[in-house]
Amino acid sequence: MGGGIVVSTEQLKAVGRNCEDFELDQSLYGNSFVMSVTPQERSCEICRHWDVNKKECRIGVFDEVLSSLDQS
């Protein structure tokens, strides 16, 4: 996991849309943002579990969700 693996924007969106642990990172939008992100707009990049610097999921579910998508 992580370790310099490059993930595409499409993978981040696909995992974000299908991840049961997705939680919008409110710090990205401030308190005035209405919490109405549709499933189509979800992406790991706006999830509170995504480490922007390390480009990996802090709770380690990215690879698991991505693998389940590949098998469907």
**10-48 per-position pLDDT tens digit:** 999 999 999 999 999 988 766 555 556 777 889 999 999
pLDDT on residue 39 = 79
- Give the residue, 71 or 61, on which the prediction is more confident: 61
Three-state DSSP at 1 gives coil
pLDDT on residue 26 = 82
**42-70 per-position pLDDT tens digit:** 999 999 999 999 999 999 999 999 999 97
pLDDT of residue 2 exceeding 50, the answer is no
